[in-house]
Amino acid sequence: MAGWLQQPANGFCQWKPRIWSFVGVAIRVPPLIVMDHLLAKESSAIPENQDMFESLRDSLIVLVLRSPLFLSAFVAFMLGTRQLLEFYLFLSSFGVLFWSYISNRELVETATALADQNTSVLYECSTLNTDILIKVLGNYALQWVCGIMFRFSAHLTSLTWLFYLWLIFIGPTIFTMFSPIVSNNVLMWTPLLSVVAAHLVLIYGALSNLKSLTAYAVDTLNWVKAVYGNDGFVVLLKSQWTRLNVPSVLRLFCVCRMIGHASVMIADAHAADTPVSWVALAEDLLVRGCNTTLSVMGVTSLFGMVVHYITMAVQAFLQKDDVEEQMGTVSSMLFFILAMQSGLPGMNPESRIFRLYQNVCLILTAMLHYTHSMINSLLQLLGASLNSPLEKHVRALLGCVFIVMSSVGLMYFTWSRHDMSSWLVALSCFSAELITKVAVSLVIYVLFMIDARRDGSWEPFDDYLYTARAVNSCLELFFATLLVLNGVWIFFFEESGTIRAFMIVFHGYFNVWSQAKQSWTNSVRRQEASRRLAEFRRATPEELNRLNDVCAICHHEMEIAIVTDCEHFYHVTCLRRWLFMQNHCPICHSEFDCRKKREQTYEQDFAQEDEGGLFTPPQPENVRRRY
């Protein structure tokens, strides 16, 4: 019996953190709705055909009037869950008082009407008048409930204050019982006096909690100052982002906003007796869902969640267990940057829906790039493995086919429906780069397959692999340069902006300059390694037979080897890869100082030439002077 009773308790304990987490998310949506409403009215508050001075004046007035409300909503959003619940209780107390006032007002009006008829509420109740009895008992119960709710919102715990609250809320009901004695003028003032007294009690409760609120604010500011001073702004932002569960709040805010707009549109369609067009409804929801910065953030979070589940489906199809950087977060950031870069909230509805379509096409291409990065690492792993199942190979190759077909299909669809534009150039560059990446990945996959299934070491493998990756890097650099030039064209001739300028500089530095610098560094390092290898001698078959050992780097048998100055034997490709990272022998760790070796060789050759006497100048004493 005890175990049967403990099962529901344990189940509730398991669900309690989830319920509390959902409450923490749900109670932060109303402040976002207030801030979004203020931002939505900001753009429509000032008429367009207005003088510049009047427009500036009206803008300042709007800013002064709305800034306190926006700041209050933002502070409420940043509060902790318990503090925010207490804040909502404090706000609900005003609704409770209004509800109490309306109910008492109706009962007082009934009492005055009975007084005009030479009767009273007490008499009607004693005669069991059902209507009057229901009104009196209902008002009494309602005032009792209002008093209990007000007690929690005002944080009053002593019995004295509970008695005072009972008198304040029940007072008008008691006065109506003595309506013949109390005049109608005095009776009409009792609901208002009750509300005023309740407000005084509420103010007293707020002032009594002012000290604890001040201490909470000071502790919070000290904590923020300490975290910012020790760890920096990024750590502070991440901690608050996690504490407030911002993505979930934004998703719930976006869903509530869309449900509200959809219900209004469906109700209007039913009122006009017209069928609901679901395509038009979806377009209107997308347009209305991006008219403010907060609404764009909500759509961004919802879009990121959808992409996250798509990424999980791709990982499940590829049977890839390791979790890399989630595409949901990257796609959310990309969606928001593209929206802010193009000024999406300030566009008219027609331009906004087309811009959304363009941004989604670009993000789809970015998702295909991310899918290729997963497949590329998987292909290299499968190519180098000898015991991987055939199913994994087929899944990875099907993923490559899907990426190529999707890129070609997207390019065909956009080029057949739209004229030449800078957006189309950017989309084509991304798609063409993706196709070349897939081709290079397949070439590298084939190279790994050949190398893994050969009996001995394949000498040209490293050269072929380097050539394929060098071609891929050159093509990536070419397409990145085209994208930078396309962005510069858009900035100067189509749409400018601070975010766009920053993105051009960011893209130019990291995707063009840094990539070119890294590729050049790798090329120089490879040339240096090849030059060092050229100065080592090749091992003879007799030396390899006498050694009868394996390469110390790859642990494979050596049919062809190279001998270092310290008389150690390695494969040529293995030692070349080693020289990319280190400049010493893998076994004895002696330095490969090839420059010093060349200088010593040059000095020895010069000394031998001196001793051999190719040209000996005459001595001064043997020279005959001519007079």
What is 480-509 written as a DSSP string? HHHHHHHHHHHHHHT---HHHHHHHHHHII
pLDDT at residue 173 in the model: 77
CA torsion sign for 545, 549, 550, 552 is: negative
Q: Where are the beta strands (DSSP E) in 232-352?
A: none
Angstrom distance (rounded) from CA 86 to CA 580: 63
pLDDT at residue 548 in the model: 79
Angstrom distance (rounded) from CA 339 to CA 303: 13
Torsion angles phi and psi, residue 549, rounded to 5: -135, 175
What SS3 state is found at 563?
strand
Is the distance from CB of 534 to CB of 509 less than 8 angstroms? no
What SS3 state is found at 591?
strand
What is 513-534 written as a DSSP string? IHHHHHHHHHHHHHHHHHHHHH
Q: Cα dihedral angle (479, 485, 487, 493), rounded to 10 degrees?
A: -150
Is the distance from CB of 487 to CB of 504 less than 8 angstroms? yes
Angstrom distance (rounded) from CA 360 to CA 335: 8
* 605 HSE (CA, 13 A, CB side): 6
Tokens of 220: 């919070």
Please write down the long-range contacts of 406-413, taking CB distance under 8 Å and 24 or more positions apart.
406/364, 406/368, 407/365, 407/368, 407/431, 407/432, 407/434, 407/435, 408/435, 410/361, 410/364, 410/365
Angstrom distance (rounded) from CA 474 to CA 520: 11
Nearest to 256 by CA among 31, 426, 63: 31
What SS3 state is found at 557?
strand
CA torsion sign for 462, 468, 474, 476 is: negative
Cβ neighbour number for residue 483 with a 10 Å cutoff = 20
Nearest to 566 by CA among 558, 575, 554: 575
Is the distance from CB of 556 to CB of 550 less than 8 angstroms? yes
Angstrom distance (rounded) from CA 361 to CA 78: 35
What SS3 state is found at 35?
helix
Gyration radius of the chain's alpha carbons: 40
pLDDT at residue 415 in the model: 93
Please write down the long-range contacts of 144-150, taking CB distance under 8 Å and 24 or more positions apart.
144/169, 144/170, 146/96, 146/97, 146/99, 146/100, 146/103, 149/92, 149/93, 149/96, 150/93, 150/96, 150/97, 150/198, 150/201, 150/202
pLDDT at residue 434 in the model: 95
Nearest to 413 by CA among 398, 431, 399, 397: 431
pLDDT at residue 625 in the model: 38
Angstrom distance (rounded) from CA 188 to CA 349: 53
- Between the alpha carbon of residue 566 and those of residues 55, 255, 375, 592, 595, the distances in Å are 83, 71, 42, 9, 16
Which residues does the chain have with pLDDT short of 70?
Answer: 1-14, 41-64, 153-164, 166, 180, 182, 322-325, 456-457, 593-627
pLDDT at residue 570 in the model: 83
pLDDT at residue 457 in the model: 65
Residues in CB range of 486: below 8 A, 6 or more apart: 422, 425, 426, 429
pLDDT at residue 614 in the model: 40
pTM of the predicted protein model: 0.76
Angstrom distance (rounded) from CA 372 to CA 368: 6
Torsion angles phi and psi, residue 554, rounded to 5: -105, -10
What SS3 state is found at 53?
helix
pLDDT at residue 45 in the model: 45
Encode burial over 282-305: b for 16+ CB neighbours within 10 A, e otherwise.
Answer: eebbbbbbbbbbbbbbbbbbbbbb
Is the distance from CB of 335 to CB of 300 less than 8 angstroms? yes
Is the distance from CB of 332 to CB of 301 less than 8 angstroms? yes
Tokens of 457: 């070491």
Angstrom distance (rounded) from CA 20 to CA 16: 6
Q: First-to-last CA distance in the chain?
A: 138
